[in-house]
Amino acid sequence: MIFYTKLLSIIKILRPLNFIITFLSVIVGAFICIHGGYSSSKILFAAISASLIISSGNMINDIFDFQGDKINHPERPLPKGTLSKSLVTVMIIIFNICALALAFLINLSALIIAASAVVLLFLYSYKLKKIPFLGNLTVALLTGMVFIYAGVSVDNYVYAIIPAAFAFLINVIRELVKDMEDVEGDKATGIFTLPLRIGFSNIKKIILLFSILLILFTTYPYFTQIYRIEYFIFVMIAVNPLLVFILKSIYENDSRKNLNKLSFLLKLDMLFGLFAIYLGK
């Protein structure tokens, strides 16, 4: 029974949904970027290594957020006591070593990006997340880097710029929503994020601004004939309507429960956006 509980806790701290989304994002990103010859093994190495780095980053964040998670997320393995910090630290080291080894097998550019992501994720948890908005931008940048990394794995990062920009914009929105969700724990641990500094009403205005920018951006690849009509149709019937629904819901209900749901929907909308790009390629 103890082994089963610990195994479930290990799976939970890895954020399997984030792992899968990162894995699929690299695969889709690589296929979007393919232009000529490519190595399927390098794409697989990129997908696995990126997912390991993301999981490692989540675990690092859980260690630094230990006190805050006692309030914001008491169900998580560390505050709940089902995993120790020492075990999680060992897992972080193993994950990062494996990820960098796989990146080395891709090419030098991939290794540089992977190493940069490992450093940025540590700096985010240690310092950057405490700096209003800079922490949000860092996470969004790292998400965008996933697609550049995918492009590098097939030696064509240029085609990754649009999906990377899309991922960046939608994750700025998601990070701000998550900050709204976590205000109680952040305040208790002395982390004064943007919602605590400028208030929910002003945060909603920033989210509105980035949502408008994102919607405008989604039209750019079609009207500049980068992507086909299939892309535009799916964006207009799925991606943007869901974004408008999320925006409306934020203004109507900023309870912690609703914000948690909207954070998940933003993650889902990112997947819809990637699917639209794949259709339109």
Determine which of 29-43, 101-115, 179-193, 216-230 has the lowest per-residue pLDDT on average: 179-193
pLDDT tens digits for range 54-73: 999 999 988 988 877 777 78
At 214 the pLDDT is 96
Other Cβ atoms within 10 Å of 198 Cβ, number: 14
DSSP string covering 202-219: HHHHHHHHHHHHHHHHHH
Q: The domain that contains 54 carries what CATH number?
A: 1.10.357.140
Domain span at residue 158 reads 2-280
Number of independent structural domains in the chain: 1
Share of the chain above pLDDT 90, in %: 61
Mean pLDDT, to the nearest integer, of 131-148? 92
pLDDT tens digits, 195-227: 888 999 999 999 999 999 999 999 999 999 999
- Taking CA atoms, 23 is separated from 143, 259, 265, in Å, by 12, 25, 19
- pLDDT-based confidence at residue 1 (cuts at 50, 70, 90): low
pLDDT digits (tens, 9 = 90+) for 141-158: 999 999 999 999 999 989
Rounded Cα–Cα distance for residues 69 and 75 (Å): 8
For residue range 155-176, what is the model confidence (pLDDT) as tens digits?
998 999 999 999 999 999 999 9
DSSP string, 228-261: -HHHHHHIIIIIHHHHHHHHHHHHH---HHHHHH
Q: How many CB atoms lie within 10 A of CB 136?
A: 24
Q: How far is CA 215 from CA 117, 145, 149, 235, 239, in A?
A: 28, 21, 25, 9, 9
Length of the chain: 281
